Amino acid sequence: MKYLLLFLLFGLVSSCIEISDDLTLNNDGSGTLRYKINLSASKIKVNSILALDSLDGKPVPSKTQISAKINEFVRLLDAQVGISNVLIEENYTDYIFKFSCDFTSVRNLQDGIKLSLAQISNDKYSTSAEQFWLSWDGNTLVRTIPAYITQQIKNYKLDNEESLKEGVYTSIARFERPVATFENKLGTLSKNQMAVMVRTNTFDLKSNQHLLDNTIVLTPR
């Protein structure tokens, strides 16, 4: 869902946007993923785009079609091994979308999302191990963006890239024990030392998708 919404971000609008992903990771590798995209500051532009039949030669989906696709994804993800409590909140007045799910391991989370996206997407992309964006060995979390996704983002054409500087992307990783070190220079450690936040604007993120990459090492158990 995370990257499905990134597609929406760069493919539909190019103005002030707020996005956040919030990963809670337990010592055993289980956890919760929350994702939010807030397009309220762009709702006039979104409404104008959704009123069109096509954009750049491609058909523009209706709100009903968008909602149907999102809920199909939720249904498919909820049926995947190791995934539970899949929830989605859709607000088509202010265009605020909230997603969350629980998982038993980061591998199940990634497999579940990839398999679900593959079933609802017309894009044919690899589901090989190189497409994983999270790894966890019980002490270290490594997060990246798959090469396929970075290429897709680079290919998006926006009418006003400067306006993306008003948008914000916030990424948070939470743990059950303190963080020892982390590599991302944009990262901030919480007061209790058990969470790392990375924040950047969406213009910089489009220019360098690896701004969210991070390696976080926890203190020994």
What would the pLDDT profile of 45-59 be if each residue is shown by its tens digit? Answer: 888 888 888 877 778
Identify which has the larger pLDDT, 204 or 84. Answer: 84
SS3 31: strand
Beta bridge partners of 55: 58
Mean pLDDT of 188-199: 97
pLDDT at residue number 96: 92
Residue 30 CA: distances (Å) to CA of 27, 64, 113, 134: 7, 34, 15, 13
Residue 3 has pLDDT above 80, yes or no: no
8 A C-beta contact, residue 194 and residue 182: no
Residue 23 CA: distances (Å) to CA of 149, 157, 158, 204: 19, 30, 29, 22
What would the pLDDT profile of 117-173 be if each residue is shown by its tens digit? Answer: 888 876 554 444 456 789 999 999 999 876 655 555 555 555 556 666 777 889 999
Phi, psi of 5 (to 5 degrees): -75, -30
Distance CA 151, CA 156 (A): 9
Average pLDDT, whole number, for the chain? 83
Helices (H), strands (E): how many in the chain? 6, 13
8 A C-beta contact, residue 179 and residue 194: yes
pLDDT at residue number 129: 43
Side chain identity at residue 109, one-letter code: L
SS3 170: strand
pLDDT at residue number 187: 96
**Which range in 52-56, 64-68, 120-124, 199-203 is most confidently predicted, on average pLDDT?**
64-68
Mean pLDDT of 187-194: 97
Write out 79-138 in H/E/C secondary structure: CCCCEEEEEEEEECCCCEEEEEEEECCHHHHHHHHHHHHHHHCCCCCCCCHHHCCEEECC
Residue 27 has pLDDT above 60, yes or no: yes
pLDDT at residue number 156: 57
Mean pLDDT of 202-210: 78
CB-based burial, 79-89: b 16+ in 10 Å, e otherwise: ebeebeebebe
Identify which has the larger pLDDT, 56 or 25. Answer: 25
SS3 220: coil
Residue 37 has pLDDT above 90, yes or no: no
Alpha-carbon dihedral angle through residues 109, 131, 118, 12, given to the nearest 10 degrees: 100
pLDDT at residue number 31: 98
What would the pLDDT profile of 72-113 be if each residue is shown by its tens digit? Answer: 999 999 999 999 999 999 999 999 999 999 999 999 999 998
What confidence tier does 114 reach under pLDDT thresholds 50, 70, 90? confident
